[in-house]
Structure 1
Amino acid sequence: YREISVLGMSLGSWVAGLIAAHEPAVSKASLFLTAGSLADMVWTGRATRSIRDSLEPAIALADLRRVWGPLNLENFAHKLARPDLALQVVFATRDKVVLPELTKRFIEKLHQAGAKPSVLKLNCGHYSLATPPYILFAGWSLKRFLSRA
């Protein structure tokens, strides 16, 4: 294959981001509804409240960040900023699962590392991204991103 692309949504975006950071054969990565820190997403997300509740008695957020550091995409921003990787980030401004502040912080880390991601902000929530018109905007944006030379 001459070109390999990865796409991930929500938790899948971490998997796609980790693959893109570690596999130089990946030339394009599109991360939908992502943030850099899995620990922060679990700690703050509405849909992950039960996970936080089970972890909180045993571990503090700062320790969880350290333990889950190998899963934190912010720690790999420099690898995601490599010149031969095109990067797209799609985020929902009303997301209660992956809070927009976490996505913005991740995008800022990418910029600090020298990446120039294509960013699409949609005025929807985590689950409403799957409904029209948001899914149409996201799909069209992905098509344009993948079609670029």
Structure 2
Amino acid sequence: MPLQLTQKERTLLEDQKTHEEICIQKYTNYAQQAKDPQLKQLFNQYASQEQQHYDTINQLLQGQQPILGGNQGQDLQQQTQQIQSQPQAGMTYQDDAVLCTDMLMTEKFVSGTYDTAIFESANSPVRQALQHIQKEEQQHGEGIFNYMQQHGMYNPQ
């Protein structure tokens, strides 16, 4: 049975779709610009995940209930930890720090907009899909934060 979206859900999903498009573009472009191969890999991985988010939102907008991978988030977290635990050259690139800072700000913003969309959704399958995506967005933020901290780009006090 197709999902019957409210007008509000449709509007919020269109907004999230736009956010995902921008995340895909940024991660893809930043992966090309990053100096550190480890950061390139991290950004490429996140670009791929953002594409999955985009596809999920498209499915919702078409009235389809998306199939959510139960352990995708866990796989993503393990892959991120593997990337971050690889040997480091010990060199910090200033340009990479700017890319990371921008993506961390972007992930904070996008995660917050998912909060609103989740609370404003009338359909349980929509809420569940958005919660799944938001969890992965938060994992992206955590991965970037950890990368920055490990490379001396971010020092929370």
Q: Shared topology, TM-score over 0.5?
A: no
Higher relative contact order (CA 8 A, sep 6+): 2
Task: Using structure 2 for the length normalisation, give the TM-score.
Answer: 0.29
TM-score, normalization by structure 1? 0.30
